Structure 1
Amino acid sequence: MSVGDQKILKTEPLSGEDAKWTRLILTTYTDPTGKIRAWEHAERPTRPKGSEIDGVGIVAILSKSGGSEIVLQKQYRPPIDKVVIEVPAGLVDKGESAEEAAVRELREETGYVGAASLSTPVLFNDPGFCNTNLKMIHVTIDMEDERNQHPKQELEKNEFIEVFSVPVGELWERCKSWEGEGFAIDARVGTLAEGIYLAKQLGS
């Protein structure tokens, strides 16, 4: 069994009453000239009360003898009908901080036990389309910890995730190779790769 062993059977319109994870909204607003305009967009109705974010993306780094590697995943995504190269990620639970969510999601999706070390500002994925937001949390994985010697995923029944890691310095070239192989690249992975590439180009 592979994460790619999935296929779309049909697509059809979904009424608002039947939608669990998304909601379509029509917002009326005034532009700088005072003209009234309308904007169609989506929102995620699952953000916990009192939380400023919907979820977290996780930059998980393995320190190995040969250098640092970033933990990535392959996961089939029905909206684009492709297997996507992603960072571990997930929604925040009620009463949970972004850092706690990141450590929990990393353990569930990859089996690795880590410690949060850095949190970004609140980031918006596609603000012209949806209000969904997240924080990127950097997590360090201690490979000396015996729990990380043979990590075991704790996936839900509807989750099929393949975990792997690549050297941080190779991420840009790997993204180009994966695209050529037919994989989709998640924007968070692509942005990380581009940042690393630019840092090299600028000598920083």
Structure 2
Amino acid sequence: MSGGEAKVLSTKPLLESEAVWTKLVLKTYQDPNGVRRTWESAERRTRPKGSDIDGVGIVAILEKDTGPEVVLQKQYRPPLDKIVIELPAGLVDEGETAEEAAVRELREETGYVSEVLETSPVMFNDPGFCNTNLKMVHVKIDMSLPENQNLKPELEENEFIEVFHVKLADLWEECIRLEAEGYAIDARIANLAEGIEIAKKFRL
């Protein structure tokens, strides 16, 4: 997937009446000293009724004889006008748990069938800017299963995703290499890679 295949053609302000996915809000609040202040922020319009999260990120681990590998994706993102290195992820459907959403999204985006291992607490992506949140769901992929041999992703018409794998032990170095090649690195991958490096350094 090369950067020349997709690009931003124009940018203009988005009217509130035209926005489908997000909205801008002005919050008035009182700070710890009792001073009245305002804060501009963004909110998603897509959080399902009755759900406490917008979506899920998926740490999908391939169990291999040569060591565990993590499933990553290359996907063009118009806000950055770059191809971004990401973990599989997606929005939660109404009535769906985080775990159900993770298994479904991974199958749709990569074709892999997985088993849930654990789920993180609710995480906020950028709390100084928006209220968007998610849970990280850790899953394992059994490569001996027949359905994981002949992968059949179910991508939507506007999804263009390239799937690849990286050894967990090499994730930090791969992030550095991919950034040098011009890719943008999603914070969830960078945080995972940094955590692995810290665990190595302090022998956790």
With the shorter chain as reference, the TM-score category is over 0.9
The AA in structure 2 aligned to 1:115 is: E
Aligned residues: 203
CA drift at 1:63: 0.5
Residue equivalent to 1:142 = 142
Q: How does 1:124-135 map to 2 (within 5 A)?
A: 124-135=124-135
Gap runs ≥5 in structure 2: none
Residue equivalent to 2:156 = 156
The AA in structure 2 aligned to 1:72 is: L
Q: Does 1:100 align with 2:100?
A: yes
In structure 2, distance between residues paired with 1:151 and 1:62: 14
| C-alpha contact (below 8 Å) 1:3/1:160 kept by paired residues | no
The AA in structure 1 aligned to 2:138 is: H
In structure 1, distance between residues paired with 2:130 and 2:183: 24
| C-alpha contact (below 8 Å) 1:3/1:161 kept by paired residues | no
Q: Does 1:65 align with 2:65?
A: yes
In structure 1, distance between residues paired with 2:8 and 2:80: 10
Q: Does 1:165 align with 2:165?
A: yes
| C-alpha contact (below 8 Å) 1:3/1:76 kept by paired residues | no
Residue equivalent to 2:184 = 184
In structure 1, distance between residues paired with 2:28 and 2:83: 36
- Structure 1: 4+ residue segments shifted above 6 A: none
| C-alpha contact (below 8 Å) 1:84/1:186 kept by paired residues | yes
In structure 2, distance between residues paired with 1:183 and 1:8: 16
Larger CA deviation: 144-153 vs 88-97:
144-153
Residue equivalent to 1:11 = 11
The AA in structure 2 aligned to 1:117 is: L
| C-alpha contact (below 8 Å) 1:6/1:76 kept by paired residues | yes
CA drift at 1:203: 1.2
In structure 2, distance between residues paired with 1:7 and 1:49: 34
Residue equivalent to 2:26 = 26
Residue equivalent to 2:48 = 48
CA-based RMSD of the aligned residues comes to: 0.7
The AA in structure 2 aligned to 1:76 is: Y
In structure 2, distance between residues paired with 1:112 and 1:32: 48
In structure 2, distance between residues paired with 1:57 and 1:3: 24
In structure 1, distance between residues paired with 2:79 and 2:107: 26
Percent identity over the alignment is: 65
TM-score by length of 1: 0.98
Gap runs ≥5 in structure 1: none
Report the secondary structure of 1:13's partner residue: coil
